[in-house]
Structure 1
């Protein structure tokens, strides 16, 4: 069983059921924390539709929080969500510019994770 993330009928990420559910739940929680819409809407196929511009703004907000916090726990909690979100955003043909000290590491991790996400 899978948990697809789709844009206009195209599957961006056919996540495993548990991975997809966890990612969507974490994104919802982070969106609430950031006071931004996530850009992910549950759909009838048992996954989520991605609205690129809203999702881009969410990822940008997540990155802003991640890059500006000095709190190691908050930084650690946001890390996996951010890297996964960067992969999904790229697949949705959206992008944000990473210019902070973590940029190179995040981009390397994004490339590795993208291969694992199929």
Structure 2
């Protein structure tokens, strides 16, 4: 059973059911914390419709939080949803500019994660 993330008529991630549900739940919580829309709307068929511009804004705000702290707990909590969201932003045609100190590490993690999100 899958949990598709769809942007218009295109599936940008056909997640496993539990992986998709957990990611969507984590993003909804983070979006509430950041006081921005997540860009993900649950569908009646079990998945999410992706609003590319709202997802871009959410991911940008999450990255700003990630990039502005040295708190290891906060970094760790934000990391998983951030990497997944960066992949989805790419797949919906957006781009988040990473700070030079994050370009290599987050870029490599995003590429590796994208391969596992095929």
- TM-score category (smaller protein): over 0.9
Residue 72 of structure 1 corresponds to 72
Residue 111 of structure 1 corresponds to 111
- Unaligned 5+ runs, structure 1: none
1:67-91 alpha-carbon deviations (Å, 9 max, x no partner): 0012110001111110111001100
Alignment check: 8 A CA contact 1:67 1:100 kept: no
CA drift at 1:96? 1.2
Q: What TM-score do the two structures reach when normalised by structure 2?
A: 0.97
Alignment coverage as a number of residue pairs: 118
Alignment check: 8 A CA contact 1:4 1:15 kept: yes
Residue 38 of structure 1 corresponds to 38
Deviant stretches of 4+, over 3 Å: none
The CA distance in 2 between the partners of 1:115 and 1:27, in whole Å, is 21
Alignment check: 8 A CA contact 1:31 1:38 kept: yes
Q: What TM-score do the two structures reach when normalised by structure 1?
A: 0.97
Computed over aligned residues only, the root mean square deviation of the Cα atoms, in angstroms, reads 0.8
1:4-25 alpha-carbon deviations (Å, 9 max, x no partner): 0000111000000000000000
Compare 102-111 and 23-32 and name the one that shifted more: 102-111
